[in-house]
Amino acid sequence: MDTSALLTLQSAQSQASAAGETRLTGRVHTAQADQNAKLGADFESMVLSNLLKPMFEGLTTDGPFGGGEGEAAMRSFQIDAMAQNITDRGGIGISDMMQKQLIKLQEGSL
């Protein structure tokens, strides 16, 4: 095998290796971005739940479902579901801010 053919083969191998690393990095970045999005959404849902709880503290439980201890016990689940629904519909921007900060932290620029 002559030298130019060997150099061409080595060049092709290094390009293929670089392309493989780029694809791997892209998958890792996508997985990291998905994880950041989930963390941001979970955090926003938790914050919204804590913001909504005081709205229901003074309400009596003799409402449309008959009231009682059962309704009082299930109120926290209802509040969490409302917070998750708000987050799923776009939220109030906390998730986006958290994702940006996570990206900065992961890049080491924070």
50-104 confidence digits (pLDDT tens): 999 998 887 776 666 666 777 777 888 999 999 999 999 988 888 888 888 888 8
In a domain, 17, yes or no: no
DSSP result, 23-90: HHHHHHHHHHHHHHHHHHHHHHHHHHHHHHHHHHTT--S-STT--HHHHHHHHHHHHHHHHHHHHHTT
In a domain, 90, yes or no: yes
In a domain, 9, yes or no: no
Reading the block at residue 66, the tokens are 């008959």
In a domain, 86, yes or no: yes
- Number of structural domains found in the chain: 1
In a domain, 11, yes or no: no
In a domain, 12, yes or no: no
- Predicted confidence at residue 81, as pLDDT, reads 94
CA-based nearest residue to 73, from 59, 61, 58? 61
Mean pLDDT throughout 100-109? 82
Mean pLDDT throughout 38-56? 91
Reading the block at residue 29, the tokens are 């970045």
The boundaries of the domain holding residue 78 are 39-107
In a domain, 102, yes or no: yes
User: What is the spatial distance between Cα 82 and Cα 31, in angstroms, rounded to a whole number?
Assistant: 28
In a domain, 29, yes or no: no
Q: Tell me if 46 sits within 8 A of 83, measured CB to CB.
A: yes
Q: Tell me if 48 sits within 8 A of 41, measured CB to CB.
A: no
Which has more confidence, 90 or 20?
90
